[in-house]
Amino acid sequence: MKTFLVTGGAGFIGSNFIHYMFGKYGEDIRIINVDKLTYAGNLENLKDVEELPNYTFVKADICDKEAIRKIFAENDIDRVIHFAAESHVDRSIVEPELFVKTNVLGTANMINCAKEAWENPDGTFKEGKRFLHVSTDEVYGSLPEDGGYFYETTPYAPHSPYSASKASSDMLVKAYMDTYHFPANITNCSNNYGPYQFPEKLIPLMINNALAGKKLPVYGDGKNVRDWLYVEDHCKAIDMVQEKGKLFETYNVGGHNEKQNIEIVRTIIDVLREELSDDDPRKEHVTYDLITYVEDRKGHDRRYAIAPDKIRADLGWEPDTMFREGIRKTIDWYFRHMDWMEHITSGSYEKYYEDMYSAKLS
């Protein structure tokens, strides 16, 4: 039985990954979820697994050396899947130092603790150990509107405090692989969407606002292009890399689903209108009239597009979910989990840890 240490497992992609892994491997793996539970970490994302005997939650900051050391000392960790990061560009523009602390210093602490636990006296590493650092396509900067793709060899050119902090963390992991032969991989992924995504991000924000009859804010002219990937397809890629990826390699993960932001918003409106019954009063106000153009974000990259050629050739990974199907699945999930969205937007989700775990921890 492999033991996985998943950082940031209460967040959007992390919680989806935990669901994916238990769905695939069941009782054959053990997962330890480490999350600080900042605003984007929500244990309600994992209510259906929290009682499993092979699942453990630890509330800890990845920057806390003693807390992370303790986890490694008390458990024989086979895999680290490192999601934990501050990830919202707008927040990074307002609080850049927070992103440096979590994304750079937190990653440094994680790889140092893993190295300390896994390194043999002769400088080699214990058999079968792997550290997978999950990163973003934003480290590569911006592409011209008329073509081109990000490859693993594309030079880094981050344009926001968020992408700069992720680029720095990538470089740390690369340096440890080169200097110590530290057993790691890096994945750089395009924009994810799907269940459990915090509603400050584009797709859940638009779904929530549209259903509430609120304006749908679109930056600039709305023609910024992103490559969108359904989160379960990303989880599948991460599992394939940790299981059979070539050590020390970087793998780009993208869905070949390039869409302008305004196209995303219009698709959400179209699908909502298809899904809402004619007697649902919300259908009347879910129209293009809600779209409102706002001042563009500072340093807003124009286009991202990932070339997943390497992960396809090496591991056979392909995305299974095309965009419109994924949007429909995402909207259906939110329809079935309106209580989750209500807790998120009201802030009451923050009480879940206290309500669920205070008795167990006292």
Residues with active-site annotation:
137-138, 162
Joined tokens for residue 157:
């050119």
CA-based nearest residue to 218, from 287, 273, 292: 292
Cα–Cα dist 134/229, whole Å: 15
Instruction: Give me the amino acid identity at 309.
Output: D
Cα–Cα dist 341/339, whole Å: 5
Interacting residues of 7 by C-beta distance below 8 A, sequence separation 6+: 14, 34, 35, 62, 80, 81, 82, 83, 84, 110
12 three-state secondary structure? helix
Cα–Cα dist 341/313, whole Å: 39
CA-based max dimension of the chain: 71
Cα–Cα dist 291/300, whole Å: 19
Q: How buried is 93 (Cβ within 10 angstroms: 0-12 exposed, 13-18 middle, 19+ buried)?
A: middle
Cα–Cα dist 273/280, whole Å: 10
* CB atoms inside a 10 Å sphere around CB 63: 18
Cα–Cα dist 331/319, whole Å: 19
277 three-state secondary structure? coil
CA-based nearest residue to 41, from 70, 8, 83, 13: 8
* CB atoms inside a 10 Å sphere around CB 348: 12
Task: Name the residue with tokens 């990974």.
Answer: 317
